[in-house]
Amino acid sequence: MGAYKYIQELWRKKQSDVMRFLLRVRCWQYRQLSALHRAPRPTRPDKARRLGYKAKQGYVIYRIRVRRGGRKRPVPKGATYGKPVHHGVNQLKFARSLQSVAEERAGRHCGALRVLNSYWMESHSHPGVSAVEQSRLTATSVSWV
């Protein structure tokens, strides 16, 4: 087996002692950083390469933190008008996935780049946060995007 296969097996067994410790340390480390920051290299090189990342000029990695949980309707003091069926404020479910939200935020942050792909990194209970790592590239480096 090649090195990437071993890395893939490690990530499959997230409950192992090594991975639990590693994820806990990284979780704390990423919480200290801003919600959207550039990473020097992918945290999961096997996954990044499978999704199209290459370690060459033009490809950059961003790590985005997204709050998990439902969506709250933005109404002043919970005042909704109309029929009672439309009065829901708290238990609304957002139509888009957290991954697509993270991709959109990264796209807005770096307008000159195009989103290549993204993958889940970790989620933890501390204020309901999920981290997504984003691979982005310049339009000139790859012609098929």
CATH number (domain holding residue 109)? 3.40.1120.10
Query: What is the predicted pLDDT for the residue at 12?
Result: 92
Residue 77 lies in a domain: yes
Residue 123 lies in a domain: yes
The torsion defined by the Cα of 35, 8, 126 and 79, in degrees rounded to 10, comes to 70
Please state, as a whole number, how many other Cβ atoms lie within 10 Å of the Cβ of residue 107.
15
Query: Would you give the DSSP letter of residue 91?
Result: S
Residue 145 lies in a domain: no
Q: 45-82: per-residue pLDDT in tens?
A: 998 888 888 888 888 889 888 888 888 899 998 888 88
Residue 144 lies in a domain: no
Count of the separate structural domains present in the chain: 1
Q: 25-48: per-residue pLDDT in tens?
A: 998 998 899 999 898 988 889 988
Closest to 27 (Cα-Cα) out of 135, 119, 126: 126
Residue 98: give the domain boundaries: 3-138
Q: 84-142: per-residue pLDDT in tens?
A: 888 999 889 999 988 889 889 988 998 888 888 888 888 876 555 556 666 665 555 56
Residue 38 lies in a domain: yes
Closest to 115 (Cα-Cα) out of 65, 66, 61: 61
Residue 111 lies in a domain: yes
